Amino acid sequence: MQKNARKNIIYSIILLLVVFLVFLYRQNQSAPKAPEPEKEGKMVITGKTMGTTYRIVYLDLENRDFTNSVDSLLMRFNESLSTYISDSELSRFNQRDTLVFESTYLPTIIKRSKTINQATSGAFDPTVGPLVNVWGFGPEGAQLKDSVQVGQILRLVGYDKIQFDEEKTWKTQKGVYLDFSAIAKGYGVDVVADFLESKGVEDMLVEIGGELVAKGTNENDELWKVGVNQPSDDISSNDIFSIIALDNRGMATSGNYRNYYYKDSMRYSHTIDPKTGYPVSHGLLSATVLAKDCMTADAFATAMMVLGTERAIELEKKQPNLDVFLIYNDSLGMQTYVSEKLKPFVSYIKGQN
Q: Name 98's bridge partners.
A: 170
User: pLDDT-derived band of residue 125, with 50, 70 and 90 as boundaries?
Assistant: very high
Nearest to 189 by CA among 170, 209, 218: 209
Domain boundaries defined on the chain: 1-33, 42-348
> For the ranges 11-25, 54-68, 224-238, 327-341, which has the lowest average pLDDT?
11-25
Angle at 268 between CA 264 and CA 273, to 5 degrees: 135
Q: Looking at the domain 42-348, which fold is it?
A: T-fold (3.10.520)
pTM of the full structure: 0.84
> For the ranges 18-32, 217-231, 252-266, which has the lowest average pLDDT?
18-32
Q: What pLDDT does residue 236 have?
A: 56
Beta pairing, strands 323-330 & 250-255: unpaired
pLDDT tens, 78-115?
Answer: 999 999 999 999 999 999 999 999 999 999 999 999 99
Q: What pLDDT does residue 293 have?
A: 98
Q: What percent of the chain has pLDDT over 70?
A: 79
pLDDT tens, 140-190?
Answer: 555 555 556 788 889 999 999 999 999 999 999 999 999 999 999 999 999
Neighbours of 110 (CB within 10 A): 20
Neighbours of 4 (CB within 10 A): 8
Q: What pLDDT does residue 66 have?
A: 97
Mean pLDDT, rounded, for 267-280: 82
- pLDDT surpasses 90 at 5: no
The Cα–Cα gap between 180 and 94 comes to 12
**How far out from the chain centre does Cα 132 lie?**
22
Q: What pLDDT does residue 22 have?
A: 46
Q: What pLDDT does residue 270 have?
A: 74
Mean pLDDT, rounded, for 119-124: 98
